[in-house]
């Protein structure tokens, strides 16, 4: 149990997807202007990460590895993720339109989110068990959502601030990300 907790916290805080591993930067800067959309995007990514890890793990360990075709990993994983995103999108659209309007519109963007493909690679590279993979995905998704929410909160206020003209907009967002990253350094040594 403590092992799973360590993986969860490690993925969420110490090795944060966005701030340390630089994965999922496009949505991090693109969708972090408003708090509400940041939250929806975060939850959508968390969901896809969890399902993707749950599917790619057995695909790798039961299909690719036994037949010695590990080199097909990249192609298979991205196809699995792309189809999963499609299926989840259709399922949400049919069952719950309110939910679809809240999260669904972010789903197509997630296929090309490197954080999702990244976490499936990390699960394999770290030789995580099935349960550990799911925990890692949960942690990575939670960490992603957390920084996205923090970032959007800061950027909503930053809109009212008055930085030097050249820094307005994206440059100051990068500087904000740096300071956020520095504060996350404090989680080092926790696990």
Partner 1 sequence: MTKKTNDFFPVIFLTLIVVVSVVALTLTNGITKDKIAIAKKEAISEMLATLFPEMEDFTLDEESGLYTPLTGGESLGHAFMATATGYGGTIDILIGLEPDATLRGIKIISQQETPGLGAKITEPFFLDQFQGLSAEQVVLAHNGGKIDAITGATTSSSAVVNAVKEAILKKLETLNKEGGRG
Partner 2 sequence: MHSFGKNFVKGIIRSNPTFILLLGLCPTLAVSTSLDNAVGMTAAFLFVLLVSNIIISLLRNYVPDRVRIPVFIVIIASLVTIVDLMLQGFVPALSKSLGMYIPLIVVNCIILGRAEAFASKNGVSDSIADALGMSVGFGLAIFVISFIRQLLGTGELDLFGRSLFTIPGLSDNPVSIFMLPMGAFFVIGTLLALFRWMGVSKGE
Binding residues for partner 2, rule: CB under 8 A, are 19-26, 29, 71-75, 78-79, 82, 111-114, 117-118, 121-122, 125, 164-175, 177-179, 181-182, 185
Minimum distance from residue 39 beta carbon to partner 1 (Å): 29
Name which of partner 2, partner 1, none residue 167 binds, using a CB cut-off of 5 to 8 Å depending on partner kind.
Answer: partner 2
Helix axes 114-125, 73-95, angle to 10 degrees: 130
Give me the DSSP letters along 55-86. HHHHIIIIIITTTT-GGGHHHHHHHHHHHHHH
* Residue that the structure tokens 């509400």 belong to: 36
Task: Rank residues 69 and 91 by Cβ distance to partner 1 and give the closer one.
Answer: 69
Taken as a whole, the chain contains a residue count of 191
Task: Rank residues 54 and 181 by Cβ distance to partner 2 and give the closer one.
Answer: 181
Minimum distance from residue 62 beta carbon to partner 2 (Å): 20
Smallest CA-to-CA distance from 57 within 47, 45, 49 is with 49
Q: What is the distance between the alpha carbons of residues 53 and 135, in angstroms, rounded to a whole number?
A: 9
Q: What is the distance between the alpha carbons of residues 4 and 17, in angstroms, rounded to a whole number?
A: 18
Task: Rank residues 98 and 170 by Cβ distance to partner 2 and give the closer one.
Answer: 170
In the chain, the largest separation of any two C-alpha atoms, in whole Å, equals: 59
Name which of partner 1, partner 2, none residue 171 binds, using a CB cut-off of 5 to 8 Å depending on partner kind.
Answer: partner 2
Residues that bind partner 1 (CB under 8 A): 10, 14-15, 69, 71-72, 75, 185, 188-189, 191
Task: Rank residues 19 and 49 by Cβ distance to partner 2 and give the closer one.
Answer: 19
Task: Rank residues 14 and 88 by Cβ distance to partner 1 and give the closer one.
Answer: 14
């Amino acid at each position: 149990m403590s092992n799973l907790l360590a993986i969860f916290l490690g993925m969420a805080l110490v090795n944060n997807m966005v701030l340390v591993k630089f994965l999922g930067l496009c949505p991090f800067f693109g969708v972090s202007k408003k708090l509400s959309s940041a939250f929806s995007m975060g939850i959508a990514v968390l969901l896809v990460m969890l399902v993707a890890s749950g599917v790619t793990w057995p695909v790798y360990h039961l299909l690719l590895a036994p037949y010695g075709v590990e080199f097909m990993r990249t192609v298979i994983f991205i196809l699995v993720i792309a189809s999963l995103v499609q299926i989840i999108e259709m399922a949400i659209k049919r069952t719950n339109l309110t939910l679809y309007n809240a999260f669904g519109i972010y789903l197509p963007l997630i296929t090309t989110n490197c954080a999702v493909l990244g976490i499936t690679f990390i699960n394999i590279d770290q030789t995580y068990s099935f349960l550990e993979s799911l925990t890692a995905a949960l942690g990575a998704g939670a960490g992603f959502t957390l920084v996205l929410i923090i970032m959007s909160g800061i950027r909503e206020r930053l809109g009212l601030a008055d930085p030097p003209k050249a820094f307005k907009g994206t440059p100051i967002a990068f500087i904000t990300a740096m300071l956020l990253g520095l504060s996350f350094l404090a989680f080092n040594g926790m696990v």
